[in-house]
Amino acid sequence: MARKNLRRIILFGSIVMMGLLFVQGFWLKRAFDIQEKQFNHTVQIALKNIADSIVAEDPSAKPAETHIRQLSSNFFFAELNAAINPELLDSLLKQELGIRSLKADYELGIYKASDDTLVYGAYIPATIQWQIDHANDAIPESDSEKSNFAVYFPNRFSVIAGELKIWIFSSVVLLLMVAFFSYAMITLLKERRLAEIKEDFINNLTHEFKTPIANIELASEALKSHRVESAKQQQYFQIIHSENQRLKTQVERVLQIGTLDKNELRLDQKAVNIHELIHRITESMGMRIHEKTGVLDVDLKAKNPEVLADEFHLSNTIYNVLDNAEKYAKNHPDIHIATSNEKGGLLISIKDAGIGIKEDFQMYVFDKFFRVPTGDVHNVKGFGLGLSYVKTIVEAHRGRISLKSKLGYGSQFDIFLPFK
């Protein structure tokens, strides 16, 4: 799928999903507002009926002076200036709320009309069956002192939300759809990225093989012509041999990664002297670095250089890190390799003064096929397999590898290998 088409699909899908979320949110808010107004209206009607009933029982009260005020979203205050019996008020509240099927917990308070002093308070659970069972209870006599009362609904929001079950269900379904769409888009982007990485890998593989094959072909044609001087024959033989070794190395790298992918890695572990291993590797790389007028400094200070390891894979691991340090040098390679003993193992530090790695890309350098997409990195041949292989081998030895790098100032790889 073309990158442009993929972007259009993601953009269009995101707009549609955002639109659906906006519409769902709008209607959910509107439904909640309507249900809230209905709740407030029901409560105020119930409290007005209760107030009228209480005032009717008090000959000294004036029905015209009863007022129901909503002081907050869940607090209602009834001004009666009438004698209120707590049991009567509680009974009437249960009756009115039960008739209207309003299943809400509430707190009831009675206040003196003169100074708003609380004289009675109680928490009443929303038990509709209790309200039905006590709907016909006898009404007690009222007290003589003038009072007002207030009702507080602590669970008002949950009561209103409980009436919006279908809306909440549809909102949850929509959120699941959005989550699935997001997951699908992320997966699609990962697949697209993987496809691009594999395409780059194939291109790099082609270029890596093309040059040595061409050199072998030219050398072979020259030898085949029988017009080559005997002095140059050895040179052409050497070209064929070296290019053949180069091809063999590249093929081995690809095959090694394939083996790791299939979880077929088998370590042939034995006691390995890391110092001797490093000396062999640096001897073979020393000529390449000196040809570029570079420096390869070795500082081996570990008192115990022996670890239990697979010599072949560990040798490839150190070689790959040194090879990267040489390839990504600015002009002249400046590489330092050191060893030291840490608690429970051996630390190998490989530091270079090369181009460094931008901080944004450091977390990806050990990913398979990843190659830093900036600067001179594009001019360096490779498959993006080296550091992935390095990390896999180090972790297979129960070790760890870390990177410290600053763009323009070089990189340092620290490899820790445990003794056991």
pLDDT category of residue 378 using cuts at 50, 70 and 90: very low
According to the model, what pLDDT value does residue 75 have? 92
Taking a C-beta distance cutoff of 8 angstroms, is the pair 309, 269 a contact?
yes
Which has more pLDDT, 376 or 171? 171
According to the model, what pLDDT value does residue 409 have? 87
d(CA 126, CA 98): 9
Taking only the tens place, the pLDDT of each residue in 13-58 is 888 888 888 888 888 888 888 888 998 998 999 998 888 888 887 7
Among candidate residues 408, 413, 415, the one with its CA nearest the CA of residue 357: 408
Second-level CATH architecture of 270-418: 2-Layer Sandwich (3.30)
pLDDT category of residue 1 using cuts at 50, 70 and 90: low
3-state SS track over 89-157:
HHHHHHHHHHHCCCCCCEEEEEEECCCCCEEEEEEECCCHHHHHHCCCCCCCCCCCCEEEEEEECCCHH
Which has more pLDDT, 339 or 191? 339
Taking only the tens place, the pLDDT of each residue in 332-373 is 888 999 999 988 899 999 999 888 888 888 888 887 767 676
Question: 334-346 burial string, b = 16+ CB within 10 Å, else e?
Answer: bbbbbbeeeeebb
d(CA 339, CA 415): 10
According to the model, what pLDDT value does residue 140 have? 45
The amino acid present at 374, given as its one-letter code, is: T
Taking only the tens place, the pLDDT of each residue in 273-282 is 999 999 888 8
Residues counted in the chain = 420
Fold of 166-261: Helix Hairpins (1.10.287)
Residues of the chain with CATH 3.30.565.10: 270-418
Residues of the chain with CATH 1.10.287: 166-261
Report helix, strand or coil for 262. coil
According to the model, what pLDDT value does residue 77 have? 92
Query: What average pLDDT score do residues 229-257 get?
Result: 71
Taking a C-beta distance cutoff of 8 angstroms, is the pair 147, 82 a contact?
yes
